[in-house]
């Protein structure tokens, strides 16, 4: 085990960046899981926008362009708000919560505007980072 502790939502989690990046190397691209234009836009544009959440996930070993092959897909776009595109989704991270936490909630004050995040325990090895994001729409 090669875990590193970070503080998020004022709580401690321990993450294994190496195992997380290994996990993502086995996942398909988002656009391979789903051929819709919302998923394509997310993969080619949204993940490169300047969100603290994406910088954090990238630093934890997540490949933001990949998702486990789940049905229908890991990224969901329910529409737009104030000219920004809403996305829901999640990314898995290999790690665990410290201090017997079950859930960690992070809102705007920590991750900046347009983002919220809930971290949950998937199992003994993995955490699930569930996000809501309002991304810039550059296609208009
Ligand atoms: Zn899709």
Alpha carbon of 72 to ligand 1 centroid (Å): 8
Alpha carbon of 92 to ligand 1 centroid (Å): 18
Write out pLDDT tens, residues 52-74.
999 999 999 999 999 887 666 67
Contact 87, 67 (CB under 8 A): no
Average predicted confidence (pLDDT) for the chain: 91
The mean pLDDT value for 2-19 works out to: 92
**What pLDDT shows up at residue 39?**
92
Residue whose tokens read 């234009």: 37
**What pLDDT shows up at residue 140?**
60
Residue 39: which residues within 8 A CB-CB, separation 6 or more? Answer: 30, 31, 33, 73, 75, 77
Alpha carbon of 138 to ligand 1 centroid (Å): 18
Alpha carbon of 59 to ligand 1 centroid (Å): 25
Q: 111: which 2 tokens?
A: 């991750």
* CA dist., res. 41 & res. 106, Å (int): 25
Domain boundaries, the chain: 4-136
pTM score, whole prediction:
0.91
Which residues have a beta carbon within 5 Å of ligand 1, which is an ion? 34, 36, 39, 73
Q: 128: which 2 tokens?
A: 């699930």
Q: If pLDDT is split at 50, 70 and 90, which confidence band does 85 have? A: very high
């Amino acid at each position: 085990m090669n875990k590193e502790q970070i503080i998020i939502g004022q709580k401690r989690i321990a993450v294994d960046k190496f195992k997380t990046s290994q996990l993502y190397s086995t996942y398909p691209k988002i656009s391979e899981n789903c051929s819709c234009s919302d998923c394509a836009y997310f993969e080619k544009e949204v993940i490169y926008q300047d969100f603290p959440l994406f910088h954090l996930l990238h630093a934890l070993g997540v490949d933001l362009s990949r998702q486990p092959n789940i049905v229908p897909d890991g990224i969901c776009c329910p529409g737009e708000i104030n000219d920004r595109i809403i996305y829901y989704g999640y990314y898995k991270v290999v790690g665990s919560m410290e201090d017997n936490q079950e859930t960690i909630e992070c809102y705007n004050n920590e991750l900046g505007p347009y983002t919220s995040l809930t971290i949950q325990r998937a199992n003994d090895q993995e955490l699930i980072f569930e996000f809501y994001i309002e991304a810039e729409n550059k296609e208009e």
